[in-house]
Amino acid sequence: MRVRQAKEIARQWVRETASSIAGFAGAFFHGSTNWLPDDAAFPATSDLDIMVVLDAPDPPIKPGKFRYQDVLLEVSYLLGDQLGSPERVLGRYDLAGSFRAPAVILDPSGQLTKLQAVVAREYAKRAWVSQRCDDARNRVLRNLRALDAAAPFHDQVTAWLFATGVTTHILLVAGLKNPTVRTRYVAARQLLAEYGHAAFYPSLLELLGCARMERGQAEWHLAALAAAFDAAKGVLATPFFFARDLTDAARPIAIDGSRDLIARGDHREAIFWMVATYSRCEKVLYQDAPPEMQARFTPGYRRLLGDLGITTFADFERRGEQVKEFLPQVWGVAEAIMAANPEIEG
């Protein structure tokens, strides 16, 4: 299937289903699909992200991942006031990329189309690129502030992991690249090589703790994760925001996508999303599974974190400080990329 075909199927879902949701104000494509040409093959280990804009005080729980016809959709809701002005969108690193090129699916009022035209015109201006890099840097710091000694271990992991992983987004935003989620380390490595900063890349892996991870280790951890994933999806009852990421439909991304990365030699780059997925599985098992099931799968999770150098909250505190100390170096490389990027204006 080509990207063009996948998008048409997504448009059909929006017309038939999303448009009837109370407060529907429009929809647009979001995420990696916006960075692919329409005639490219739609990756088997990817979903197609759709943002449904709602003008409603109490939006329903997001549908998340589900299969519609032959396409795995990832549907999220966005309140209309988050798109209040072009300037607000231009400053958000996680949103602006969806408006840099036409991506509007349905726009009853015409506001999304007007917004897109302004964002596309201003997107590559140096001031806005720098502001989006700063937005990503602030995301790192917010995640670090979320570290809580009283929280369950898996929640501590998540706060530390996303603080660490968003360092790659600062760089990708500086290069006008997609701040992708699952393959962020692959994308950062490619960007750094493109701009002559390949020697900086190992530092990002060191920060995550997987710079010396061997392929055999990653394969062992993936097998343990796959078993935990299957157990978690079988007992999931609590309506977590990520619940639809732990289903049979989502398994090709969570498990097969990591297997593909390992198979092509990107086993260290696979670790970020493996830890993220494992943490979600642990959260479900902690909340919804009997103690004996938790006891069966938690040791594998702890072994993975142990291989990354993390066993106690003191490790999170120490590693969090390393992230903070590393940020000026990341910013320096980001500024060098912005200065060398021929697409950035002014």
Between the CA of residue 179 and those of 6, 108, 160, 172, what are the distances in Å? 21, 29, 18, 6
Count of H helices and E strands in the chain?
Answer: 14, 5
DSSP class of 83 = G
Q: Quick one: pLDDT at residue 106? A: 97
Least confident piece of the model among 45-49, 129-133, 332-336: 45-49
pTM: 0.95
Q: Among 56-65, 137-146, 312-321, whose mean pLDDT is lowest?
A: 56-65
- Which residues fall within 8 angstroms of residue 8, CB to CB, at 6 or more apart? none
Q: Where are the domains of the chain?
A: 3-122, 127-327
Tokens of 21: 């949701």
Contacts of 102 (CB under 8 A, 6+ apart): 116, 120
Instruction: Kindly report, residue by residue over 230-239, the tens digit of the pLDDT.
Output: 999 999 999 8
In tens, the pLDDT along 103-118 reads 999 999 999 999 999 9
What pLDDT shows up at residue 140? 98
pLDDT category of residue 224 using cuts at 50, 70 and 90: very high
| Position 190 pLDDT exceeds 90 | yes
**How many other C-beta atoms can be found within 10 angstroms of the C-beta atom of residue 95?**
20
Q: What is the pLDDT confidence band of residue 163, given thresholds at 50, 70 and 90?
A: very high
Task: Give the pLDDT confidence of 202-213 residue by residue, as tens digits.
Answer: 999 999 999 999
List, for residues 251-283, the tens digit of each pLDDT value. 999 999 999 999 999 999 999 999 999 999 999
pLDDT for 178 equals 96
DSSP annotation string for 168-217: HHHHHHHTT----STTHHHHHHHHHHHTT-GGGHHHHHHHHT-TT--HHH
Find the mean pLDDT for residues 133-159: 98
Mean pLDDT, all residues of the chain: 96
User: CA 321, 149, 133, 47 torsion: positive or negative?
Assistant: positive
- Domain 3-122: which CATH number of 3.30.460.10, 3.40.50.720, 1.20.1290.10, 2.60.40.60: 3.30.460.10
Q: What is the mean pLDDT of residues 163-174?
A: 98
